[in-house]
C-alpha cells in the first residue's frame, strides 16, 4: 500500500468517525427536544454542533465530549485527504 493510499484510507476512517459522531450529536439533541431537520442535515450540522456545545456546557458545566470527537474527526479527515492527494 502506497503512502497516498494510506492517507486516503485514514481520511475515510476520519470521515466515518465524524459521521458517527454527527449521528450521536443529533440523537443527543433530539432527546432534549431539539427538532432535527434530517433532509438538510449535512448543511445544518454546524448549527447542531454549536447547539450541542452550548447545551452540554449549560448542562454539565463544560463542553461535552462529542463536540471534540466531531471536530477532531473532521480535522483528521481533512488533513489526511489533503496529504493523500498531495502525495499522489
Q: Are 54 and 64 in contact (CB under 8 A)?
A: no
Report percent pLDDT > 90 for the chain. 95
Per-residue CA distances from 27 to 8, 44, 67 (Å): 29, 14, 13
At 6, the pLDDT band (50, 70, 90 cuts) reads very high
At 40, the pLDDT band (50, 70, 90 cuts) reads very high
The pLDDT, as a whole number, for residue 88 is 85
**In the Cβ-directed half-sphere of 62, how many Cα atoms lie within 13 Å?**
4
69-85 pLDDT, tens digit each: 999 999 999 999 999 99
The pLDDT, as a whole number, for residue 67 is 97
Amino acid at each position: 500500500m502506497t503512502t497516498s493510499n494510506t492517507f486516503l484510507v485514514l481520511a475515510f476512517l476520519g470521515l466515518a468517525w465524524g459521521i458517527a459522531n454527527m449521528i450521536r450529536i443529533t440523537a443527543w439533541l433530539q432527546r432534549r427536544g431539539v427538532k432535527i431537520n434530517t433532509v438538510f442535515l449535512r448543511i445544518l450540522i454546524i448549527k447542531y454542533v454549536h447547539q450541542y456545545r452550548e447545551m452540554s456546557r449549560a448542562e454539565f458545566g463544560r463542553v461535552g465530549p462529542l463536540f471534540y470527537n466531531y471536530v477532531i474527526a473532521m480535522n483528521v479527515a481533512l488533513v489526511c485527504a489533503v496529504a493523500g492527494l498531495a502525495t499522489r
